Amino acid sequence: MPTLRSQQPQVTDDPMNPDRTPTPAHDEEPVVPDNSGNPDRETSVMSTPALANAIELLTDELRRREGNGQKAKAKEPDTFDGTDSRKLNNFILLCNLYFRSNPNSYREGENKVNFALSYLRGLALEYFEPALMDSDEAPDWFFDWNEFVRLLRVQFGPIDPTGDAEDGIDNLKMQDNQHIVKYNVDFNRLAIRTRWDDSVLRHRYYSGLAERIKDVMGQQGKPSTLEEMKTLAHSIDSRHWERAREKSRGKNKSDKSEDKKPDDKNKGSNSGNNSGNNSTNNSGKNKKGNKNSNDNKTGKPASTSGQSSSIADKLGKDGKLTYQERQRRFDNNLCMFCGGAGHTAKECPKSTSSASKAKARSVQAKEKVTPDPKKD
């Protein structure tokens, strides 16, 4: 903290200073008047080397705080198991980005290799495991990041990256329902490996575009460079999807308006039809009810449930007439088929089907039965 002291500057005899202006002595620090209004108090000023050193330390501290608090942190890479060679470039790229965001921690190749090994899984980790288990001597690639990357590419990368890229770009095709962004990403990823010149890549890029983009580009004229063609294709694709959204919004509005406006005429006709149908149904029900009531008046049974129950009592478990019923009909000269009087089972008018007549003949053959002595 600056010290306060009350001291008058010494005056020296200087022939070069005829006005004999008071100047500070060489062995004293320069002073400035105190702003407190007291002429007897003055504040000493820090020397120039000390002030420069303090400013430098303060600047370093601010830079350190800014670096720790505001510097963006790169995303850590996903794990790599060696089963898909297409994911190797993405793994190496993310590792390098992470190293650049943390240069102080990953200056040495050993630290970089250790970091990458910690994100290997499955087959990729098993390949390096024997060398890592040998504690006597570490392999050369363990201290050299570039050598480690080369080994990764040889063992788990594509066998012929250039040939695979050329084959992939030849078969790349943009679909009509696809946005051009995905097509551009796939094209750029393959084009950088082919090392083709601009004219070849421009021709291949145009060949893979969707037909709707080619139609518009054909009317405007093909650009002369690949970048210009990409820009034009992106603009055409953006306008296409913008127009598609406009059509979709217009269709939705028309559908909503139709739903909100009911057809009064149809509503009235439907109500009339419904009332007519209801009256018709009610009249039909009434007719059926009157018919049933008339049948009851004429003496006809309203249902056949009682008749069915009486027949069931006359049949045995085998579906044939019980012994008592056969004996009753035989004693009273009744029909063995229907139980009526005045005719036999062969002449029964209710026996109309061939099966019924066959049954009647079999029953007639059994008409002469003798009473069961056990029942008697």
pLDDT over 70 (residue 130)? yes
Percent of the residues in the chain that have a pLDDT greater than 90, as a whole number: 32
Q: Which residues make Cβ contacts (< 8 Å) with residue 140, sequence separation at least 6?
A: 147
pLDDT over 80 (residue 238)? yes
Dihedral of CA 335/340/343/348: which sign? negative
pLDDT digits (tens, 9 = 90+) for 136-156: 788 889 999 999 999 999 999
Q: Which two tokens stand for residue 112?
A: 């970089």
Q: Is residue 238 in a domain?
A: yes
pLDDT over 50 (residue 170)? yes
Radius of gyration over alpha carbons of the chain, in Å? 55
Report how far apart, in Å, the C-alpha atoms of 32 and of each of 20, 236, 291, 358 are: 19, 73, 131, 146
How far apart are the C-alpha atoms of 329 and 348, rounded to whole Å? Answer: 14
What's the domain range around 332?
317-376
How far apart are the C-alpha atoms of 114 and 97, rounded to whole Å? Answer: 16
147 and 176 housed in the same domain = no
Q: What is the DSSP letter of 74?
A: P
Confidence at residue 80, expressed as pLDDT on a 0 to 100 scale: 94
Q: Is residue 274 in a domain?
A: no
Q: Which residues make Cβ contacts (< 8 Å) with residue 356, sequence separation at least 6?
A: 337, 350
Amino acid sitting at position 111: N
Report how far apart, in Å, the C-alpha atoms of 337 and of each of 250, 334, 348, 366 are: 79, 9, 7, 12
Average pLDDT over residues 144-170: 90
How far apart are the C-alpha atoms of 293 and 295, rounded to whole Å? Answer: 5
Q: Is residue 367 in a domain?
A: yes
231 and 178 housed in the same domain = yes
Q: Is residue 188 in a domain?
A: yes
Confidence at residue 364, expressed as pLDDT on a 0 to 100 scale: 61
Grade residue 42 by pLDDT with cuts at 50, 70 and 90: very low
Q: Which two tokens stand for residue 170?
A: 């030849």
Which pTM was predicted? 0.42
Report yes or no: 313 and 306 within 8 Å, Cβ to Cβ: no
Q: Is residue 279 in a domain?
A: no
Grade residue 232 by pLDDT with cuts at 50, 70 and 90: very high
pLDDT digits (tens, 9 = 90+) for 87-118: 998 999 999 999 998 888 898 999 999 999 99
143 and 176 housed in the same domain = no
Domain end (from 203, 222, 255): 255
Number of structural domains (the chain) is 3
152 and 93 housed in the same domain = yes
Q: Which residue in 360, 362, 327, 323 sits closest to 345, CA to CA?
A: 360
Helix axes 122-133, 145-156, angle to 10 degrees: 130
95 and 130 housed in the same domain = yes
Average pLDDT over residues 283-307: 47
pLDDT over 60 (residue 341)? yes
Average pLDDT, the chain: 74
Domain end (from 227, 255, 283): 255
Grade residue 303 by pLDDT with cuts at 50, 70 and 90: very low
pLDDT over 80 (residue 28)? no
Average pLDDT over residues 219-241: 93
Domain end (from 119, 141, 156): 156
Q: Is residue 269 in a domain?
A: no
Q: Is residue 293 in a domain?
A: no
